[in-house]
Amino acid sequence: MEAPQAYAPRIYFVHSVHVGPLDAWPAVFAHAASLGFDHVLIGALFAPGVSGDGRIVADHARLNPAFETSQSADVALRTLAQSARERGITLLADLTLDRAAADGVLYAAHREWFHPFEPEDARLDPRHGHSDAHVAYADFERAGAPLAAWWSQRMIELVQSGLGGFRIESPHRTPANVLRGIFDVVRERHRDARWLAATPGLARPAIAGLEGAGFDAAFTSLRWWDFASSWMLEEHDVLRRVGSPVAFPEAPYGKRFIHDQEGAADARAIERAYRRMLRAAAALGTGWLVPMGFEYGVAESVEHAGGAPADFEAARARAPFDLSADIAHANALQRETWVLQCNGELRAMNGPGAPVVALLRGDRADLRDAEDAVLTLINPALAAPVRVNMAHLLDAVPGGFTRFSPLDAETLRGAHGAPARDASAVPDHFALPGGACWMFRALAAPAVLLAPREDIAKGRTSGHKTVADALLAPRIAIESVTPSVDEGRFVAKRIVGERVDVCAAIFADGHDRIDAAVLWRAADETAWHESPMAPVLPPGTDMWSGHFPLDRIGRHEFVVVAWRDDFASLVDHVQKKRAVNQNVDLEMEEASRLLALVLATAETSDTPDEANGGDTALNASLDAIVKRFIGADTDTRCALLAAPATAAAVRAARHRPFLSRDAHVRRVDAERRAARFASWYEIFPRSMSDDEARHGTFDDVIAKLPRIRDMGFDVLYFPPIHPIGLANRKGRNNTLTAGPTDVGSPYAIGAAAGGHTAIHPQLGTLDDFRRMLAAAHEHGLEIALDFAVQCSPDHPWLQAHPGWFAWRPDGTLRYAENPPKKYQDIVNPEFYAHDSKPGLWLALRDAILFWVDAGVRIFRVDNPHTKPLPFWEWMIADVRARHPDVVFLSEAFTRPRLMYRLAKLGFSQSYTYFTWRESKRDFTEYLTELTQTAVRDFYRPNFFVNTPDINPRHLQTGARASFMIRAALAATLSGVWGVYCGFELCEGRALPDSEEYMDSEKYQLRAWDWNRHGHIVGEITALNRIRRANPALQTHLGVTFLDAHNDQILCFEKATPARDNVIVVAISLDPYGEQRADFELSWHTFHHWRIDDGATLAVTDELTGQRFEWHGRWQHLHLDPHTRPFAIWRIEPARGLPRDEPLPESPDAHVAGHPELDTDFPLAGAT
């Protein structure tokens, strides 16, 4: 349906005194027509009274004396109208209905139609509303009918004389019903007559009162808009219910627009302001009005009284510019643009005060229904351009108007911006010049149709086919299932022996009860096991929870299922009706039929009950219940329905209407304990001889095992132990020239003795390695090897498989680089080279399997973020499919998303940013991220305090307390932590302005003084002892940061989920000065223990073994870095830990498990 065209006049306003005699008017009409106007509004058309005010007419039958004619008004108007029509102009005139000249004809003839004329003393009284001595005010209350009749007749005569309509001054002062009556009478004779309401300055209620009065148009206050406030749009919305909102760039009476520009920088700024205002009026008005002289920037004001043609001509001669062409262009836009002729909705596309004004105008009363629209962009600043981002303006655009094209050549003139989506579109970003007003035709993008609007019964998208799919769709919603990593794309991580807690949002339409379960199995099983789910408190959240055990290492799968529980719903209805003594005979019949259906389902089902091994005893029990029910009275039947045994028998029968299954089968890896809890110690085996002149061997490592064991470590990690290349071997402190005795970097893997499956000859043989491995196991230590996917130029693969590597155009190898770093002694294989697919991938996998066969089950992977992600996902999955007890540690110090992605791909542990976290805020925010976000399901941190590559600056000061602080932080915050040999000796010497160790073991042999003065072996031993004794410290989870009134003290609680092991840790972050603080214990722990805030706690100092008591949640601590800058306490209620209490018996086991189904459960907002 086409949009209705509104009355959209293009009006040139002319004050009669500025033109003069009748013979001067044809030139005015010709000028208006040349500018594109189709209406001329004549101000002060009729003879005024003694006041000279053109609004206060003395005789409506005579023209203003300025016309210099003795002809009657009707005769003279015929002449004027004929001249105007010849030029395509319709004449309009100003009329004031509520007032007349007190010295005029109308008042003299009909004084009774007006309010009594007050004496002078009364007019001077400020309490009286009317005080003009020359004005008579119409009394519409007493004389509305005769006034309306007189005005109707006079307007008919004026229209017959050639006037096309009238602008009504102060329309709110004439009752709307009177106005309507006048307009209707005139329209009966002259349907094309128009009425325009002079509304600027009126209050909103006054404007709203004109709705329904019959006006064709009303005038906006746009001329006074600051291009920021919201009132203009509010006024526009009210006005368009009165008539077409006609805008003007300058008011017909009063001060000219140029007076607003007194602070303008120069004449060009003034002209820009004029152009912006006239384009804004043309764009935002349904029609517009331009006062004579605006096109020239005339400064002289237009008054209701006074003025002469000579005055206007003189002002015009002084005009600073001529905007005639701009006005003609604006009139052409209004004439040729459909939307600008419609009284449609105008809506802001951004907020008030925005840097750019963006207004969308449609051709309908509601933009959502519009078929055409215009977007107007205005820069409120005259001098400075503003950046426009079209995407910001299109957010939730009504009507789907998302495509735009310039409406005229002025729009986008000189714009420079980002490329558009297609050549004909507006750029996505561009600069809007200062003072610009650009208009765009807005086009609604076609909707995306997935089926024809007319349904074709046999078509591919027929509703007959899609409805069949809908009928089969799950009726019960299963959402937000956890644990789930990226909706099941990746595997969640847990530890064998853990219970996997599964949560899901489960709900359905209506108020029927539902039930749910978790189906789970090990990945090598075909049959599913089932565990029930129950609603989570508080009720009304639709959240359900269940759990299943992980009693095997390796991959597990689970899926959530739900169904409608018809039996429970029926029991609930019966109990509610019985509670208010309502008849339940019909419900008993329904129960009889339901029990028969359930029994038939159980007897014919070929699906065994996983939970009960397909036991038929429950079927027999159900059969007995059904038989008893059939012959029982109502009371007995009700008792049978409510019996827990009946509910159990029905559940066992697995009658599950509308059974729904989550669309995703989610996966969980059960890893061994070492993946979550381990204490790592790193050594270079070649430095274990205690002699810098002798290369260490595996036998030297065996000799050090008791010392490492005694410190409490359980993982002994070696950097690469493979043959080291000679080509480009590095010298001491990473120098590029190696001497004959330099041993090189162990990361330059490969030499004549072999590659990734060989052992550096000076360390020993494979048999020696296996013997060392066995000795380590005897000491409770597990060996972890470094897996570095890099090769020295001497690696055997370069001879056997040159196609696995990247070669430069000059035929040389592409060495490993991370600009500005360059590793001249290693090259990286090219994973996607033609010859590498799949040989390289398999060879690397086989290297891992080789060491697995040798007895290694933990691998630290060097820089995995520099190798293809698909390789790691495939390789780890392949290895763990064969050996699910293998643990991989990712050494990727890179961007967070990439670190997390590697964990998702299968790495059991990850190096972290812990090394560079130093402040209380750092630790709190980082641990919160690792433990309270989705990361917790797949990312396990390994807090290494130092590495051969990283000598943190906070350890380079040599302060012994710094080493104790970092050890305490790592050992207590994370379940897995690591120490590189020398840390316990407080080794912190570094190369200048670097995090590299001085005389690093990466490039030379070292002999350590294991008894160096000031070592912290005792503290590390104590930390590892405490970790082994307290399960709360065996994971990074379960941390709660406590409020401690000192930014230099980090205080936190670590607790098991059951809070049967609660550890409180306080660590000073100041290695030099004593620190004190009051701190507050966790409210959650007190609440879980069911004790009040002032309760007494039994406290054990885990470092000294001392026992004492704390009273209440607020405690005080003092930490001295010169003795021990940290404290670890184990706490529990003085009266002992609370015992688990059995749940009370419930007469309705199902209701007890479903609190949201209780009769008192609020239904508002529930499903």
> Averaged over 222-244, what is the pLDDT?
96
pLDDT surpassing 80 at residue 518: yes
β-partners of residue 482 are 503
Based on the domain organization, do 621 and 767 belong to the same domain?
A: no
Instruction: Flag whether 111 is in a domain.
Output: yes
Q: Which of 560, 397, 543, 555 is nearest to 474 (CA)?
A: 560
Known binding residue 904? Answer is no
User: Which of 979, 997, 1027 marks a domain boundary?
Assistant: 1027
> Averaged over 1095-1099, what is the pLDDT?
97
Cα separation, 547 vs 556, in Å, equals 13
Based on the domain organization, do 707 and 655 belong to the same domain?
A: no
Lowest mean pLDDT among 594-608, 918-932, 948-962: 594-608
CA 762, distance to chain mean position in Å, is 58
Q: How confident is the model at residue 609 (pLDDT cuts 50, 70, 90)?
A: very low
The CATH number of the domain holding residue 532 is: 2.60.40.10
Instruction: Flag whether 90 is in a domain.
Output: yes
> Averaged over 74-89, what is the pLDDT?
97
Which residue would you say has higher pLDDT here, 469 or 197? 197
Based on the domain organization, do 224 and 357 belong to the same domain?
A: no
The one catalytic residue in 862, 1001, 1132, 1156 is: 862
Based on the domain organization, do 762 and 780 belong to the same domain?
A: yes
Q: Find the Cα–Cα–Cα–Cα dihedral 894, 897, 899, 902, rounded to 10°.
A: -140
Based on the domain organization, do 666 and 538 belong to the same domain?
A: yes
Q: How confident is the model at residue 621 (pLDDT cuts 50, 70, 90)?
A: confident
Known binding residue 581? Answer is no
DSSP notation for 324-384: HHHHHHHHHHHHH-SGGGS---EEESS-TT-SSEEEEEESSSSGGG-S-EEEEEE-S-SSS
pLDDT surpassing 80 at residue 127: no
Known binding residue 821? Answer is no
Domain count, the chain: 5
Instruction: Flag whether 128 is in a domain.
Output: no
pLDDT in tens, 786-815: 999 999 999 999 999 999 999 989 888 887
Q: Which of 392, 274, 289 is nearest to 331 (CA)?
A: 289
Known binding residue 728? Answer is no
What value does the mean pLDDT of the chain take?
91
Q: Is 585 a catalytic residue?
A: no
> Averaged over 217-244, what is the pLDDT?
96
Based on the domain organization, do 942 and 1010 belong to the same domain?
A: yes
pLDDT surpassing 50 at residue 1098: yes
Q: Which of 934, 887, 893 is nearest to 911 (CA)?
A: 893
Domain extent, residue 487, equals 477-604+615-671
> Averaged over 134-157, what is the pLDDT?
96
Instruction: Flag whether 455 is in a domain.
Output: no
pLDDT in the model for residue 400 = 86
Q: How confident is the model at residue 399 (pLDDT cuts 50, 70, 90)?
A: confident
pLDDT surpassing 60 at residue 211: yes
pLDDT in the model for residue 253 = 93
Known binding residue 458? Answer is no
- Which residues neighbour 605 within 8 Å (Cβ) at sequence distance 6 or greater? 653, 654
Q: Which of 437, 362, 429, 432 is nearest to 399 (CA)?
A: 362
pLDDT in the model for residue 1158 = 39
Q: 140-160 and 176-189 are packed helices; what angle lies between their axes, rounded to 10 degrees?
A: 30
Could you say which DSSP state residue 157 is in?
Answer: H
Instruction: Flag whether 463 is in a domain.
Output: no
Q: 566-579 and 585-604 are packed helices; what angle lies between their axes, rounded to 10 degrees?
A: 160
Instruction: Flag whether 278 is in a domain.
Output: yes
pLDDT in the model for residue 119 = 54
Based on the domain organization, do 812 and 865 belong to the same domain?
A: yes
Based on the domain organization, do 336 and 371 belong to the same domain?
A: no
pTM for the whole structure: 0.80
Known binding residue 825? Answer is yes
pLDDT surpassing 70 at residue 1145: no
Q: Is 862 a catalytic residue?
A: yes
Buried b (16+ CB within 10 A) or exposed e, 749-761: bbbeebbbebbbe
Q: How confident is the model at residue 457 (pLDDT cuts 50, 70, 90)?
A: confident
- 353 C-beta neighbours (distance < 10 Å), count: 12
Q: Is the peptide bond before 483 cis (omega within 30 degrees of 0)?
A: yes
Inter-residue contact 43 to 57 (CB < 8 Å)? no
pLDDT in the model for residue 612 = 43
Based on the domain organization, do 907 and 961 belong to the same domain?
A: yes
pLDDT in the model for residue 42 = 97
pLDDT in the model for residue 607 = 53
Rounded to 5°, angle at Cα 517 from 510 and 628 = 75
The CATH number of the domain holding residue 75 is: 3.20.20.80
Q: What percent of the chain has pLDDT over 90?
A: 80
Inter-residue contact 727 to 825 (CB < 8 Å)? yes
- Which residues neighbour 890 within 8 Å (Cβ) at sequence distance 6 or greater? 861, 864, 865, 899, 902, 903, 907, 909, 910, 911
Q: What percent of the chain has pLDDT over 70?
A: 93
Q: How confident is the model at residue 455 (pLDDT cuts 50, 70, 90)?
A: confident
User: Which of 973, 994, 1027 marks a domain boundary?
Assistant: 1027
pLDDT in the model for residue 427 = 87
Based on the domain organization, do 239 and 311 belong to the same domain?
A: yes
The one catalytic residue in 891, 984, 1102, 1148 is: 891
Instruction: Flag whether 125 is in a domain.
Output: no
pLDDT in the model for residue 445 = 87
> Averaged over 750-770, what is the pLDDT?
98
End-to-end CA distance of the chain: 41
Q: Find the Cα–Cα–Cα–Cα dihedral 78, 80, 86, 87, rounded to 10°.
A: -150
> Averaged over 16-33, what is the pLDDT?
96
Q: How confident is the model at residue 422 (pLDDT cuts 50, 70, 90)?
A: low
pLDDT in the model for residue 505 = 98
pLDDT in the model for residue 307 = 74
pLDDT in tens, 655-707: 999 999 999 999 999 999 999 999 999 999 999 999 999 999 999 999 999 99
